[in-house]
Structure 1
Amino acid sequence: MEKNSDNQYIATVSVVVPVYQGEKTILTLVNELAEFTETSTSATGIRYVISEVLLVHDSGPDNSAKVIHDLSTKYDWVRPVWLSRNFGQHAATLAGMSASVSDWIVTLDEDGQHDPKEIANLLDTAVEENSQLVYGKFAGGALHSRWRNFFSALAKWLYTKLLSPQDGEFFSSYRLMTGEIGRSVGAYAGSGVYLDVALTWVVDRSVACEIAPRVEYPRQTGFTFRRLLGHFLRLVLSSGTRPLRLVSLIGFSSFFIGFFYAAFALYGKVAHGYPVEGWTTVIVFVSMGSGAILFSLGILAEYLGVVVRNAIGRPLYLIRSSPFNDVLSRTRKSKQSN
């Protein structure tokens, strides 16, 4: 939190940038962010300043490390975060969020598709919608290849329709969140968790802010089909225990269906008889046996669900600041005082 000479609140923003192949793009991005390291004002009157830019080096194959080091030497507001090896985009973003110190956290990509000027619009949306989490949503879709946009839209549709209905269509790597929420998620999220799923665990709701699409800086992309498929699998595995609950439901249902069908077969044997000797016995054993197996799988799925929730780090609760004196309320009051 910052105050100027008139004791007027100025919202501080930490910008987290995971860097994998950013040798040719990071300098341009940091130069764009430099404009907002002095106090700026949004369209609705919110005063804010980028107090730090955290460049998280994810041990990529290029010479990003030297560029990051040079930038941190040149600018005191550039803070490098060095990961010991390549952990992936979401882990790198979580590391930067954990290391931040400002009131708000913004995450954006190294490739230049996210315009730093839109940070002001994200702040305005957070205050207007009273939301601790805002996603930047490209008007008309991101300027990626058709296959990438198609699979991204398909993954979000599957998530919202089959796995979890909460906010999946908003997911984007351009995010604004309160520092309190971001640092908490960075502290408890387990290995391999999908960052946006972890955020839905602790925010009441997220909203989207429409932003203008922008062409990426010229570079070799690090998003191969294999990497995008890995993101989708992480999304599915982090989405909770709904698939396991489906296994449980199938197991319990099969057990009772098998039990009643076996009873029906016994009744038919006694009441009418069957011309084929041993048919009733086979039906009873198959129905009861398969039902018992699936019932056992259902029980195992329930236990596995408990293990999964613990492994991915989903918290039982999260204590937040008073809604009358948190970052949102202070930012709103500063807007009203202008």
Structure 2
Amino acid sequence: MVFLSIVVPCYNEEESVGIFLKEIQNILPGKGFEVIFINDGSSDNTLDEIRNLANENSNVKYLSFSRNFGKESAIYAGLKNASGDLVCLIDADLQHPPSLIPKMIESIVHEGYDVAAARRVSRKGEPKIKSFFSHMFYKVFNRISRMDLVEGATDFRVMTRQVVDSVMELSEYNRFSKGLFNWVGYNTKWIEYENIERMVGETTWSFRALVRYSMEGIIAFSTVPLSIVIFLGFIFSLVAFAYMIFIILKYLLYSDPVQGFATIMSVILFLGSVQLLSIGIVGKYLEKTYTETKRRPIYLVKESNINED
């Protein structure tokens, strides 16, 4: 019999954690699993709710961070502390349907897959603008990186111990788990499901946060933006050189003085914008290099009941 560790990152999920655990207990009766809640510096009563659940259920474990380190850090901490033969990563808000877990386990135990992962085939209930940018992210990412992310792929998955150990070997500070799961490889079965809206509470993922998350993923797994900067610099250098020759010849052949203040200002402003954009792209890569070289811990634990026995 395999033992399952269920890793649940939580941020301000006080209304969800109790409902989530009941759902898991209904789907997975018995004691062949543990639930590891990762409290990512919640500002509400999430930690109190998790403590109560842990006191009432011996198979409920938890880690509570000293502050909000972000979901990627919570995922890393959960996988690091999971002891099961199989490890399930799932959100607490029930937008990842726990009812898929038995099917995922079946895919690994009886069908020979290393990973069973869920992907959304619809975005029902999401704002159309958010769905559009999500689609564009996958399209751009797959075009400029050496990996192909499955559109609609989620963090919700069940993995073998070997896969988890492989992910844990990737100890970089700037983490993009969807890319890391793809990078380590292994035989993956994708299980499709319809988008599910939150039962309680509100999402903590704003549009701005999702844009920032997308940028993190692109920078983490592609250097194409840097190549684009070089390409733009080369093209504009050729254009500038050609225009300079044109101006010189025009003056020598026709004695036509340089005119067009508005044109000159437009060119200067345009090129200045391109330069600032290019510096910004290079700066983002330098920022990631800077944070990696500091070698700071990915997270800090303030409170936990793991290994207390």
Q: Which residue of 1 aligns with 2:299?
A: none
- Code of the aligned partner of 2:4: V
Distance 1:275 1:142 in 2: 63
Q: Give me the TM-score of the superposition, normalised by structure 2.
A: 0.70
Distance 2:204 2:20 in 1: 17
The match for 1:105 among 79, 87, 91 is 87
**How do 1:107-186 and structure 2 match up within 5 A?**
107-126=89-108, 131-139=113-121, 141-143=122-124, 145-147=125-127, 150-161=129-140, 162-164=143-145, 166-186=148-168
Going from structure 1 to structure 2, the CA distance change for 1:244 and 1:76 (only over 3 Å counts) comes to: same
Q: 3-state SS of the aligned residue for 1:243?
A: helix
Residue segments in structure 1 that go unaligned for 5+ positions in a row: 1-9, 40-48, 280-293, 314-338
Residue deviations 1:271-314 (CA, integer Å, cap 9, x gap): xx7334899xxxxxxxxxxxxxx9xx99xx8998698579669x
Going from structure 1 to structure 2, the CA distance change for 1:274 and 1:102 (only over 3 Å counts) comes to: farther
The match for 1:38 among 9, 24, 30 is 30
Q: Give me the TM-score of the superposition, normalised by structure 1.
A: 0.65
The match for 1:221 among 203, 215, 224 is 203
- Code of the aligned partner of 1:22: E
The match for 2:17 among 11, 26, 29 is 26
Residue deviations 1:3-35 (CA, integer Å, cap 9, x gap): xxxxxxx33321111111221211121122224
Q: Which residue of 2 aligns with 1:244?
A: 226
* Superposed displacement of residue 113, structure 1: 2.1
Query: Is the 8 Å Cα contact of residues 18 and 49 (structure 2) preserved in structure 1?
Result: yes
Residue deviations 1:196-235 (CA, integer Å, cap 9, x gap): 1222222257542113554432223323334333333333
Query: Is the 8 Å Cα contact of residues 116 and 188 (structure 2) preserved in structure 1?
Result: yes
Query: Is the 8 Å Cα contact of residues 7 and 78 (structure 2) preserved in structure 1?
Result: yes
The match for 1:56 among 22, 38, 63 is 38
Residue segments in structure 2 that go unaligned for 5+ positions in a row: 259-273, 294-309
- Code of the aligned partner of 1:30: L
Query: Is the 8 Å Cα contact of residues 136 and 174 (structure 1) preserved in structure 2?
Result: yes
Distance 1:245 1:198 in 2: 23
Relative contact order: is structure 1 or structure 2 higher (C-alpha 8 Å, sep ≥ 6)? 2
Q: 3-state SS of the aligned residue for 2:78?
A: helix
Residue deviations 1:257-280 (CA, integer Å, cap 9, x gap): 767x499879x96xxx7334899x
Distance 2:131 2:162 in 1: 29
Instruction: Say what the alpha-carbon RMSD is for the aligned residues.
Output: 4.0
Going from structure 1 to structure 2, the CA distance change for 1:275 and 1:159 (only over 3 Å counts) comes to: same
Distance 1:278 1:130 in 2: 77
Query: Is the 8 Å Cα contact of residues 137 and 172 (structure 1) preserved in structure 2?
Result: yes
Distance 1:309 1:177 in 2: 30
Query: Is the 8 Å Cα contact of residues 17 and 56 (structure 1) preserved in structure 2?
Result: yes
Residue deviations 1:111-131 (CA, integer Å, cap 9, x gap): 122222211222344578865
Stretch deviating more after TM superposition (113-122 or 199-208) = 199-208
Query: Is the 8 Å Cα contact of residues 17 and 110 (structure 1) preserved in structure 2?
Result: yes
Aligned residues: 275
